[in-house]
Amino acid sequence: MTSIKPTELPLLNTIILLASGATVT
């Protein structure tokens, strides 16, 4: 994995949450 910048963490979390929500529904 490439080094993740702290500023990218919230964005990644949002994407993961949206992906999970889309998969569940």
pLDDT grade for 22, boundaries at 50, 70 and 90 = confident
pTM beyond 0.75:
no
pLDDT at 23 over 60: yes
**pLDDT (tens digit, 9 = 90+) per residue, 1-15?**
567 677 777 888 888
Write the DSSP symbol of residue 18.
H
How much is the pLDDT for 5?
A: 73
